[in-house]
Amino acid sequence: MDSRISAIFHVVSRVREFISRVIVGNAQAIDILLSTVIAGGHSLIMGPVGSGKTTLARALAKAIGGSFSRVQMSNETLPSDILGFVVYTRDGSAKIVKGPIFSNVVLLDDINNAPPRTLSALLQAMQEGKVSLDGNVLDLPNPHIILATLNTTEPELGLLPELSPAFLDRFMSSINIAYVGRSDEKRVIVSSYRIDDVLSSNTTESAITPADLLNAIKVVRDVYVDDVLIEYLMDIVNEIRKDDRLAVSVSTRASISLYRLSQAYALLNGRNYVIPDDIKIMAYPALGHRIIIKPEYRDVVKPMDIINESLSRVPVPR
């Protein structure tokens, strides 16, 4: 194993171990989140009420250190509640009041409660790592990770509008969290006090530092992806684009996300090169939230079905 890859592998393994002490029975969700973070992306955490979405986000923030902010989204949340605002004093000078977006890790809880205007205000921050306040363009801290939780129960009941494709496309990955099985649920119940203490205590030591994370993000770029595998990745995405059941075509940003997540997942498994299985595994978190199905097909097909069909039709490189 390459020495740099080995060093970063051990750094990321410490984060994985830390989060695993808090999140029980969702190892795949942890790996997807870590892959997203070291690939420099943002993640949408989806699941029913009380399935551990917020806990996963808080555990990541504790594990990597740095500053952390949480915003509980509602239909009254304004852009200024997240980005901040400018105050003008009596002498005419301007004072910038920075919002929670200026933390290293930002948790936007129940993102599907937020009004469209507020979601639109987040696009610059998610894409460029910058925020504009009254004509002032401000850089966000680095690393900067936006984690948004999406409650899938209410949209399924028709109580909330769906998020726009343009906003969903800004998330590098989506993570689906379901209720854990009986044995894992028992472990969660017994460990609930300890988990609360880990997440709420100011004395809990993080697994790594923000500087360690920045180093990992740099190393991911050097993970080798053979040209044959890039063609394989593109074939998967193009196969999905050809599906007549899609209301919106899958973007080039989706292909880039799959490429970077595959690199990160390879590193997460101690390799400095990508294999076909990395692409196949990361296809679900990279593409699932970007697949918008036409209304007439939504009762009979899900995004995962379309990804499954695409993977089965595209030959795997040998």
How confident is the model at residue 158, as a pLDDT? 46
- pTM of the prediction? 0.92
Quick one: which of 239, 220, 238 has its CA closest to 278? Answer: 220
- Could you report the per-residue pLDDT of 14-55, keeping only the tens digit for each? 999 999 999 988 899 999 999 999 999 999 999 888 888 889
Using 70 as the pLDDT threshold, list the residues of the chain that sit under it.
1, 153-161
12/213 Cα distance (integer angstroms): 8
3-state secondary structure of 225: coil
The CA distances from residue 248 to 161, 164, 220, 244, 293, in Å, are 17, 11, 30, 10, 8
Query: What is the four-CA torsion angle of 82, 292, 303, 253, rounded to 10 degrees?
Result: -60
Over residues 248-295, the pLDDT tens digits come to 999 999 999 999 999 999 999 999 999 999 999 999 999 999 999 999
Burial 141-180 (b: 16+ CB within 10 A, else e): bebbbbbbbbbbeeeeeeebeebebebbbbbbbbbbbeeb
Dihedral over Cα of 313, 289, 207, 127: its sign: positive
Segment holding 142, helix H or strand E: none
- Tokens for 62, please give them: 């504790």
Q: How far apart are CA 306 and CA 274, in angstroms?
A: 23
